[in-house]
């Protein structure tokens, strides 16, 4: 059976033009005028775009004494409802656990996905076993990215020596390291001080993780990556200090990528000063929401290209779970949702306001991500041969965001009450219609794992550090007798 998307305007990262799209066997087989097929999807008045890719989600993640409440089924259903057709989740070995054992657990959980998915592997501890298993992860398991937490001291955090070793291993394997960049030692010290001084509410979470903590860690990770001769991807870039470090590195010829979240772009720190404890706690995530100045910096980065990707860090906890932290903000599970809202919110606050163009929208929600993760043009493209992961985007459809009619399993939405204009008319996952306006036709288990090959050309030494410090023996004469 062939499907034709008819009468729409194709919008890619580079081009905007009128054409129909013909699909068979889950792939795009023809693009052109006046196509016909067995099933016709009316795209009149709509933009036909590559489905969104969310490179940063945590579904059913064991974290802070509980599990995030959206699993691969509800999470990917939420994504599809908002135009996202692929997610990349973080496989998270417990410290000391085999990476390959952890991967088995993730493989199992993900069998329920409604759309295609991939994993990043997290390096949560360091040793010979991790060093060895990283090779199998890249070569046998199709994962070419390794995440490092510079925060969550005593749990997931790795130190600089471990990070340097892992980055060098990534360079050897053709893999890309990712960092959660916050100075975990400073955060831990500030948390203790705040609690000792009687600040136990959710607003203290934000005080414990100021922008400088993120800026310092971002810069440190960039320099360590440079010394290891490997590119770097900085997840949830939330502030000017971090953006500045990325910008400067890029200007100096380094391949460093920055990923703002839709939450940081559109919600600010005033949320933590809401009188309602639940309201504030529901918005506790790391890094925390920032002020307007930081938001402007992130928008500028998307427009100018110094930041490349918009993600969600979707890690949804119910109100009951958030209440683990009553009396001690350190125990509020960190994380917010966003999978269903990322694209409509970015369209409404980015494209409709003129901050970014439609083509930039496609780039930062899909195409750039596919390129950075080495799955382009199978994903992130409207091209013959590409997977038919497509969103038929109706720029006139609108709604008020509300937990009442969301797909996510949690009982609130951090964007509650926001008016969005720009929503999917259809979302297709490998050629199958999963969303038709507000009708959800997703199929549990339809999603497949997407293998990502190691990178070829990009892993060059980025600075001259290697040349300068390559060990060179000096033939000395007249070596004095050693001192006593």
Query: Which x/- pattern over 276-295 shows residues binding ligand DUC (rule: CB under 6 A)?
Result: ---------xx---------
Phi, psi of 130 (to 5 degrees): -65, -45
Q: Which does 140 bind (CB under 5 to 8 A by kind): ligand DUC, Zn ion, none?
A: Zn ion
Q: Which does 334 bind (CB under 5 to 8 A by kind): Zn ion, ligand DUC, none?
A: ligand DUC
- Give the 3-state secondary structure of residue 430: coil
Which CB sits closer to Zn ion, 50 or 93? 93
76 CB-contact burial (10 Å; exposed 0-12 / middle 13-18 / buried 19+): buried
Which CB sits closer to ligand DUC, 10 or 206? 206
Rule CB under 6 A: is residue 133 a binding residue for ligand DUC?
Answer: no
User: Residues 56, 147, 180, 209: which binds ligand DUC (CB under 6 A)?
Assistant: 180
103-285-150-198 Cα dihedral, nearest 10 degrees? -130
Which CB sits closer to ligand DUC, 201 or 422? 201
Residue partners of 387: CB distance under 8 A and separation at least 6: 26, 27, 28, 116, 378, 379, 430
Q: Which does 285 bind (CB under 5 to 8 A by kind): Zn ion, ligand DUC, none?
A: ligand DUC
Which CB sits closer to ligand DUC, 313 or 360? 313
Q: Which does 335 bind (CB under 5 to 8 A by kind): ligand DUC, Zn ion, none?
A: ligand DUC
At what angle are helices 292-304 and 240-251 packed, to 10 degrees? 30
Rule CB under 6 A: is residue 120 a binding residue for ligand DUC?
Answer: no
CA-CA distance, 152 to 55, in Å (whole number)?
Answer: 21
Residue 313 C-beta: closest distance to ligand DUC, Å: 6
CA-CA distance, 409 to 319, in Å (whole number)?
Answer: 11
The residues with which 157 forms a beta bridge, in sequence order, are: 149
Residue 42 C-beta: closest distance to Zn ion, Å: 38
Residue 218 C-beta: closest distance to ligand DUC, Å: 14
Which CB sits closer to Zn ion, 60 or 313? 313
Which CB sits closer to ligand DUC, 141 or 180? 180
Which CB sits closer to Zn ion, 261 or 362? 261
CA-CA distance, 343 to 72, in Å (whole number)?
Answer: 19
Q: What is the DSSP string of 401-424?
A: --GGG-SSSSS--TTTT-EEEEEE
Residues in the interface with ligand DUC (CB under 6 A) total: 8
Instruction: Write out the binding residues for Zn ion, residues 140-199 only, by CB under 5 A.
Output: 140, 180
Residue 178 C-beta: closest distance to ligand DUC, Å: 11
Retrieve residue 48's tokens: 């036909």
Closest CA to 233 of 439, 458, 471, 483: 458
User: Residues 334, 367, 442, 459: which binds ligand DUC (CB under 6 A)?
Assistant: 334
Rule CB under 6 A: is residue 335 a binding residue for ligand DUC?
Answer: yes
Instruction: Write out the binding residues for Zn ion, residues 284-323 only, by CB under 5 A.
Output: 313
Which CB sits closer to Zn ion, 112 or 148? 148
Rule CB under 6 A: is residue 309 a binding residue for ligand DUC?
Answer: no
Residue 256 CA from chain centroid, whole number: 15
Using alpha carbons, list the distances in angstroms from residue 407 to 75, 283, 337, 440: 8, 19, 11, 9
Residue 48 near residue 427, CB atoms below 8 Å: no
Residues in the interface with Zn ion (CB under 5 A) total: 3
Rule CB under 6 A: is residue 238 a binding residue for ligand DUC?
Answer: no
Residue 136 C-beta: closest distance to Zn ion, Å: 5
Rule CB under 6 A: is residue 58 a binding residue for ligand DUC?
Answer: yes
Closest CA to 453 of 50, 140, 233: 140
Which CB sits closer to ligand DUC, 64 or 138? 64
Using alpha carbons, list the distances in angstroms from residue 112 to 102, 115, 294: 17, 9, 37
Which residues of this chain interact with ligand DUC, rule CB under 6 A?
Answer: 58, 180, 285-286, 313, 315, 334-335
Which residues of this chain interact with Zn ion, rule CB under 5 A?
Answer: 140, 180, 313
């Amino acid at each position: 059976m062939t499907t034709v998307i008819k009468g729409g305007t194709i919008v890619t990262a580079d081009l905007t033009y009128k054409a129909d799209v013909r699909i068979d066997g889950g792939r795009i087989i023809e693009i052109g005028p006046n196509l016909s097929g067995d099933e016709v999807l009316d795209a009149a008045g709509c933009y036909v775009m590559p489905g969104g890719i969310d490179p940063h989600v945590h579904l059913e993640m064991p974290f802070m004494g509980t599990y995030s409440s959206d699993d691969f089924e509800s999470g990917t259903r939420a994504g599809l409802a908002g135009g996202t057709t692929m997610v990349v989740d973080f496989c998270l070995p417990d410290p000391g656990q085999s990476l390959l054992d952890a991967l088995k657990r993730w493989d199992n959980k993900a069998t329920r996905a409604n759309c295609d998915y991939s994993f990043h592997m997290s390096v949560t501890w360091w040793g010979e076993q991790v060093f060895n298993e990283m090779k199998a992860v890249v070569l046998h398991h199709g994962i070419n990215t390794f995440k490092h937490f510079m925060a969550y001291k005593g749990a997931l955090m790795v130190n600089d020596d471990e990070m340097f070793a892992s980055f060098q291993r990534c360079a050897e394997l053709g893999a890309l390291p990712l960092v959660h960049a916050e100075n975990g030692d400073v955060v831990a010290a500030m948390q203790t001080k705040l609690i000792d001084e009687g600040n136990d509410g959710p607003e203290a979470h934000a005080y414990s993780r100021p922008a400088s903590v993120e800026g310092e860690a971002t810069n440190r990770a960039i320099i360590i990556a440079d010394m290891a001769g490997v590119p770097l991807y900085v997840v949830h870039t939330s502030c000017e200090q971090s953006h500045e470090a990325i910008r400067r590195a890029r200007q100096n010829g380094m391949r460093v990528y920055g990923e703002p979240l839709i939450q940081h772009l559109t919600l600010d720190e005033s949320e933590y000063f809401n009188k309602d404890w639940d309201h504030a706690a529901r918005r506790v995530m790391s890094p925390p929401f920032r002020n307007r100045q930081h938001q402007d910096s992130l928008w500028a980065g998307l427009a100018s290209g110094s930041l490349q990707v918009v993600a969600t860090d979707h890690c949804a906890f119910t109100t009951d779970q958030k209440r683990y932290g009553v009396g001690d903000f350190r125990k509020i599970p960190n994380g917010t949702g966003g999978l269903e809202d990322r694209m409509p919110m970015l369209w409404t606050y980015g494209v409709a306001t003129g901050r970014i163009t439609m083509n930039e929208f496609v780039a930062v929600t899909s195409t750039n991500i596919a390129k950075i993760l080495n799955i382009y043009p199978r994903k992130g493209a409207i091209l013959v041969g590409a997977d038919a992961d497509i969103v038929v985007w109706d720029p006139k459809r609108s709604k008020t965001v509300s937990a009442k009619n969301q797909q996510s399993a949690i009982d609130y939405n951090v964007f509650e009450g926001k008016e969005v204009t720009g929503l999917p008319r259809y979302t297709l996952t490998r050629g199958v219609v999963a969303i038709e306006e507000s009708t959800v036709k997703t199929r549990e288990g339809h999603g497949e794992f997407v293998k990502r090959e190691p990178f070829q050309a990009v892993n060059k030494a980025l600075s001259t550090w290697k040349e300068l410090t390559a060990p060179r023996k000096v033939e000395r004469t007249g070596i004095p007798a050693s001192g006593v």
